[in-house]
Structure 1
Amino acid sequence: MHFVIERGIVSHTIRMEDRTFDPNGDITLIMRSHLEDDQTSERTTTTESVIESTPMHVRMLVSSKHLVLASSVFGAMLQGRFNEGQTLRSAGYLELPLPDDDPVAFSILLDVIHGHTRKVPHKYQLQEVVEVFSDGWVQALSREVPASLTADLIHWLCIFWVFGQSDKFKLMTRIMERESGGTIWTEDLPIPPAVLDAIENKRQGVIASAISMLTDLITNYQNSTPRCPRSGDNAFKCDAMVLGALIKSSISIGLWPPPAPPFTGISFCALSGQIHQMKVPTLCDTIGQTEGWYGSRGDYPYYDRGELPAHIGIKESIEASFRSLEDQLCGLDISTFKA
């Protein structure tokens, strides 16, 4: 069984190196390349140059899973009753000769199939040629689409951008907005700078708002006006305890003194997790008039009259603010950039 990829008229091909598309691959494709014979370059006729070539073998280590997902032909061969499929199942490995296929053209398809998008040439703007197949490819590989910020996410973002898949583009940009620390390497992929700028601007914007919220809270506790409803020294001691806890917690997560943009190395997702771990005790907790912010606040004597002191529930208030900020990191609409 052969898989021929037409390239048109080619005078000769240059020797390709062996390729590993999947280091854990279970199939080695063997194709014929040609090494140009330099000694024949001076032999010419009156009409054209005579170019001789020597056949060579190119070996490509690939994943049978990716081949089967991408191609029904490979699926029938490797999962059916063909000898190739039986050998693969019994030995766990297969060498598959494809003598009639062009290794240069085939390697481009293998890069696409294995998700090596940065190796796919973009010079000739060929995405429209394969766009009709993109939905099927993405559906077949849907389980490999990252759900968090990984090294492969930028490649998937490029795929969804090129083929205009708006929902998945929005999902990838949402992950980057929430989990990026400010450094995004595009690896020369054809992603517009405006997309990356928008992701970074939203990241910086919500982090700046979070820092401002904490700074305002600390400033309020630095004022001379007591926030604890207790009288005398107890109010001062309670406010001082809250102020100290806020500053110390903010220092531990790198937010005090307040950092300046661009907040390199700070992701909103990590920051939100650190905020959740903050401890903000009060004197009221210590003397037992409330169970604290994680317990019931009904034990506080002012609660039934709707006079809950401002410093009770600080932790919940901070976390609620962070949830509101997180909702702003909802991803980008591809239509904004594809005018």
Structure 2
Amino acid sequence: MAPRKTKSDENTKLILTAAMANPHPPYQIDPDGDIILFTPKASLIDITKGNVPGNYSRFQVSSKHLALASAYFKGMLKNGWAEGDALSTKGFAEIPVNDCKPDILLIILNLIHGRLRQIPLKLSLPQLSDIAVATDFFQCHEVVEVFAGIWIKALESLVPSSFSQDMKIWMMISFVFKSPGIFKRTTKIAMQQATGPFETSNLPIPKPVKDAIDKAREECLEKFELLIKEHILRLLSGPVRCSENCDAAHLGVSLGKMMTMKISSSLNTSRSSESGCAPSITVDLRGFSPDSICSMIKEWKTKLRCSGHNPCSNTRKPFGDDGKMRAERFFSSLNGLALDL
């Protein structure tokens, strides 16, 4: 007696029949699967990197596995959506997966289907970045996170210590896969070294993270602006720190130093009362990183010779007794973000 055909057998036959029209039949992650996922362009997948050989860009998979592991596919496969309607009426569906490389999609799908022996234990940083982006898009964090920990540990020595595109990539990876140490380290770099509003470069870094980085940087620069203004006004209007000649000379050197660094400033000496003029100064540090301004303040030195007090307070402590300590304290407050911000 011939074995009785089941609905699953019929669905599989329909899928495989439809696949024959394509020059590249689907790679069977689940031979009984009722979904064909395909990417827009085929690309060579190297088996030596833990993937399948051949020019595969189409994958036969299970709708149940997809819906269980991925909030993205769970929503798509409900009735009322074209894909869900096709699945319920025809018993199968073909779904395009745009902007996802076949090798990256294959790793995600193997994880979703529990094919753990097919998962590579090492990835390049671009591959890990692509998987993090795909994980965020498909909303399948739970099935990826165990291997993500392995991949991150193998590459952690590559986390940069300076502001760069790779730093942004690591920030995104650490946020998607909940790696608090790397996230704190990379957001600290962004706060301290960015020279303007933080740009995410189209990476899935949430807006609250960007806003928190920008707010911390801007508040620190505002404190530095106040410190510099206090220094200039002290030399301009007293009380005298060393001598009138010494204070005036250091005022000129300070304004010249700011011009050399292209720090925008303006001085206003408009009359405010019968007693005389009340000078005010504005300093604009936009376009600078807190790191560069803190270093400038800490290393502020002049070569002026003072014939007055010895040692000269303007030379020894140009920003006052605690100015440099205040600058270091402001800068140290830029200590990165926690994942639960």
Q: TM-score range by the shorter chain?
A: 0.5 to 0.7
Which residue, 33, 44, 59 being the options, matches 1:9?
33
The equivalent of 1:305 in structure 2 is none
Q: Is the 8 A contact 1:146 1:152 kept in 2?
A: yes
Which residue, 30, 34, 50 being the options, matches 2:54?
30
The TM-score with structure 1 as length reference comes to 0.59
TM-fit CA distance, 1:322: 2.4
Which residue, 320, 323, 333 being the options, matches 2:338?
333
Which residue, 243, 247, 252 being the options, matches 1:244?
252
Alpha-carbon distance between aligned partners in 2 of 1:19 and 1:271, rounded to the nearest angstrom: 48
Alpha-carbon distance between aligned partners in 2 of 1:127 and 1:50, rounded to the nearest angstrom: 26
Which residue, 215, 219, 223 being the options, matches 1:209?
223
The equivalent of 1:311 in structure 2 is 314
Q: How does 1:252-331 map to 2 (within 5 A)?
A: 252-253=260-261, 254-257=263-266, 258-260=282-284, 263-275=285-297, 278-284=300-306, 287=307, 300=310, 310-315=313-318, 318-331=323-336
TM-fit CA distance, 1:237: 1.5
Q: How does 1:96-175 map to 2 (within 5 A)?
A: 113-116=127-130, 119-120=133-134, 122-175=136-189
Greater relative contact order (Cα < 8 A, sep 6+): 1
TM-fit CA distance, 1:30: 3.1
Letter in 2 for 1:135: G
Alpha-carbon distance between aligned partners in 2 of 1:237 and 1:20, rounded to the nearest angstrom: 75
Alpha-carbon distance between aligned partners in 1 of 2:290 and 2:31, rounded to the nearest angstrom: 48
Alpha-carbon distance between aligned partners in 1 of 2:41 and 2:124, rounded to the nearest angstrom: 15
Structure 1 residues 204 and 214, CA, compared in 2 at 3 Å: closer, same or farther?
A: same
Which residue, 241, 251, 274 being the options, matches 1:227?
241
Aligned-residue Cα RMSD (Å) equals 4.2
Letter in 2 for 1:147: S
Structure 1 residues 162 and 8, CA, compared in 2 at 3 Å: closer, same or farther?
A: farther
Return 5+ residue gaps in structure 2 as ranges. Answer: 1-26, 60-88, 94-100, 105-115, 267-281
Please identify, of 122-131 and 264-273, the stretch whose mean Cα deviation from structure 2 is larger.
264-273
Q: How does 1:55-70 map to 2 (within 5 A)?
A: none
Count the aligned residue pairs: 248
Structure 1 residues 10 and 146, CA, compared in 2 at 3 Å: closer, same or farther?
A: farther
Alpha-carbon distance between aligned partners in 2 of 1:236 and 1:225, rounded to the nearest angstrom: 10
Q: Is the 8 A contact 2:180 2:339 kept in 1?
A: yes
Higher helix share: 2
TM-fit CA distance, 1:16: 4.3
Alpha-carbon distance between aligned partners in 2 of 1:50 and 1:332, rounded to the nearest angstrom: 45
Cα deviation per residue 1:205-240 (whole Å; 9 max; x = unaligned)? Answer: 111111110111110111154221xxxxxx221111
TM-fit CA distance, 1:276: 5.2
Return 5+ residue gaps in structure 1 as ranges. Answer: 36-46, 52-58, 63-70, 79-108, 229-234, 291-299, 301-307
Alpha-carbon distance between aligned partners in 1 of 2:90 and 2:120, rounded to the nearest angstrom: 44
TM-fit CA distance, 1:314: 2.3
